[in-house]
Amino acid sequence: MTRKVLIVDDEPEVFASIQSALHKEPYEFISASSAQEGFNILDEQPVDVVVCADEVPDMKGVEFLAEAQKRHPKVLRVMLSGSADREALIEAVNTAGIYRFVAKPVQPAQLAKVLREALQVSRVAEAQMEVWAAAKMQRQAMQKLASPDVDEESASEETITAARYAGFYPADVTGEADKIGELPKEHADRLSMRERQIVEALASGRRVKDIAQDLVISTHTVRNHLKAIYRKLNVRSQFELLSLMARNPTHREAGG
């Protein structure tokens, strides 16, 4: 995957030397000769890392990076600096959340190393955000669906969504969902033939209205069967029923 790196520097030779030295790296370099041009690019297209000189014509580099942090907090920020002033560098880190400094004149090998490390940090952060978002959605869905007061027909789609987040519906190579599992025999024996048909349909990801159409019965009848199933199996909701079945997974026959 090609990552975009924005270089903000009013010295064309700096951009040219970086682009030439790192042309084999998986980066697309974009040039801006002023802070305003840099902001325009950041606002118009996705950028992974912005590298800014400590001085550009219309703004100090640290001011540009501080504003970039406010507008686009996910973009990692690197400063090219010819200053050896330790206090100024510390202030820049505190003000603009700069990931790393690269000394001028730029050494391509050093910049390449910094970019690789910065993008690795970015990938880890993105993965963490995805995990947190999925966990939050799963937790909210589970809390809602665990309630015995949830209307079965309206909640059926959410039940399936929550079950997928919980890993109950593994996708096969065709993208279709396998059945999550089956009732243990001692549980299945408590149910009538019709009730077992409904449980099988739920295990395959079918919704209440789909089950009604498949079995040529009303949704009201399906819900009545579900109430009987819950009572016989001592569960309170579709999600608890799916959880029970997930603990007894089915296995495909080889070549099936």
Counting every residue written for the chain, the total comes to 256
Residue 152 has pLDDT above 50, yes or no: no
Q: β-strands 59-60, 55-56: how paired?
A: antiparallel
Which tokens in the block code for residue 68? 């970039």
The residue extents of the domains of the chain are: 3-129, 146-246
> Residue 205 is inside which H or E element, if any?
none
Contact in structure between 191 and 229 (CB atoms under 8 Å): yes
Residue 89 has pLDDT above 70, yes or no: no
pLDDT for 154: 47
| Residue 1 pLDDT grade (very low, low, confident, very high; cuts 50, 70, 90) | low
Q: β-strands 100-103, 76-81: how paired?
A: parallel
What distance in Å separates the CA atoms of residue 202 and residue 48, rounded to the nearest whole number? 43
The CATH code of the domain at 146-246 is 1.10.10.10
CA neighbor of 78 nearest in space, from 29, 44, 43, 45: 29
Q: Minimum mean pLDDT among 44-58, 170-184, 194-208: which range?
A: 170-184
| Residue 207 pLDDT grade (very low, low, confident, very high; cuts 50, 70, 90) | confident
Give residue-wise pLDDT tens across range 111-126.
888 888 877 776 666 6
Same fold for the domain at 3-129 and the one at 146-246? no
Q: Where are the beta strands (DSSP E) in 12-64?
A: 27-32, 49-53, 55-56, 59-60
pLDDT for 37: 93
Q: Is the dihedral of CA 233, 238, 241, 245 positive or negative?
A: positive
The CATH code of the domain at 3-129 is 3.40.50.2300
Looking at every residue in the chain, the average pLDDT score rounds to 75
Give residue-wise pLDDT tens across range 5-47.
899 988 888 888 888 888 888 888 999 999 999 999 999 999 9
